[in-house]
Amino acid sequence: MARSRSPPCSTPSISATISRLPSPPGNRRTRCGNSPSRTSFDPNRYEHCFIPTLVDTGAEKILFDTGFGDADSSLLQCLQDLGLGPADIDLVVITHGHPDHIGGLVHNGEAVFSRARYVFGAAEFVFWTEADTVREARLSNRDLFLRVCAGLADRATFVAPGDEVVPGITAIDAAGHSPGLLAFHVESDGQQLLIWSDAFLHSVVSIQRPEWHADLDDEKEQAVETRKRLLKMAADHRLLVAGYHMPFPGLGHIEQVDGTFRWLPATS
């Protein structure tokens, strides 16, 4: 499917305002393995969304991830639709260092979010800037990370699972898809949101068959364990979930049924 016009921005109602800021769905292929047959999704039938999240706590506007930052990105337009510009963002949280999450940080060598502070996972930052274990398929990704993110280190805080980003927003270990991937638990006035980023790449395959491997996951068995743990957490606590690659607007709940789980899109 060719990239299509983005759906409108979505703003669910909880005490801290949460806005979903979509980039257009694309035709990037994801291959899934360790299943009865190894299959590539048909790019003419598989819609793959990229949906950053904006949390407005009332005191700060916090953006989770930035999309590719390419000509098709609708992130800045969505912010404009909310009456915001890049300079209104106080904090940018990067869940992990893949191109569809960091690409919108810098444009023409300048930071897009000129006033913002940044949050990176400490393990993720070290992986891309210091480790010698980046697999060949990710070498260009490492170059991008060094070019885009390394220069922001002096304005950044580095967090580990269990750390608070701000009061009410806590980092959760979600490693596997990337070695230092972080999810985030948001709580406000007793209401809860789980931002699971790329722990799940597809609303059916990743959730109903969490044990299946995806080529895009760097640590495949660790990714399986992460999916199982986050699915149980979301189902047991009836959390609202924001999924970066879930069908627009990427908000839903997890239901346990017939020995597995399924994605239930949020209806309001």
Helix, strand, or coil (residue 150): helix
Query: How many Cβ atoms sit within 10 Å of the Cβ of residue 29?
Result: 13
Tokens 């269990």 identify what position?
A: 162
Query: Average pLDDT for residues 151-177, to the nearest whole number?
Result: 97
Query: Cα 252–157–185 angle (5° rounding)?
Result: 20
**What distance in Å separates the CA atoms of residue 119 and residue 107, rounded to the nearest whole number?**
19
What's the pLDDT tens digit per position in 69-128?
Answer: 988 788 999 999 999 999 999 999 999 999 999 999 999 999 999 999 999 999 999 999
pLDDT for the residue 256: 95
In DSSP terms, which residues pair with 157 in a beta bridge?
119
Q: Is the pLDDT of residue 139 over 90?
A: yes
Cα distances from 17 to residues 30, 62, 70, 116, 192, in angstroms, run 32, 10, 26, 19, 12
Q: Is the pLDDT of residue 200 over 80?
A: yes
E strands, 108-180, are 110-111, 117-121, 156-159, 164-166, 169-173
Q: Is the pLDDT of residue 161 over 60?
A: yes
Q: Is the pLDDT of residue 263 over 90?
A: yes
pLDDT for the residue 127: 97
What's the pLDDT tens digit per position in 41-77?
Answer: 566 766 778 999 999 999 999 999 999 998 878 899 9
Cα dihedral sign, 25-249-244-229: negative
What's the pLDDT tens digit per position in 2-25?
Answer: 223 344 566 554 456 777 776 554
In DSSP terms, which residues pair with 120 in a beta bridge?
94, 158
pLDDT for the residue 119: 98
**Band (141; pLDDT cuts 50, 70, 90):** very high
Q: What are phi and psi of 197, to 5 degrees?
A: 50, -125
What string of DSSP letters covers 175-224?
TTSSTT-EEEEEEETTEEEEEEETS-S-TTHHHH-TTSEETT-SSHHHHH
Say if residues 128 and 17 touch (Cβ distance below 8 Å): no
**What distance in Å separates the CA atoms of residue 96 and residue 102, rounded to the nearest whole number?**
8
E strands, 22-168, are 23-26, 31-33, 39-40, 48-50, 53-56, 61-64, 91-94, 106-107, 110-111, 117-121, 156-159, 164-166
Burial of 181 (0-12, 13-18, 19+ CB in 10 A): buried
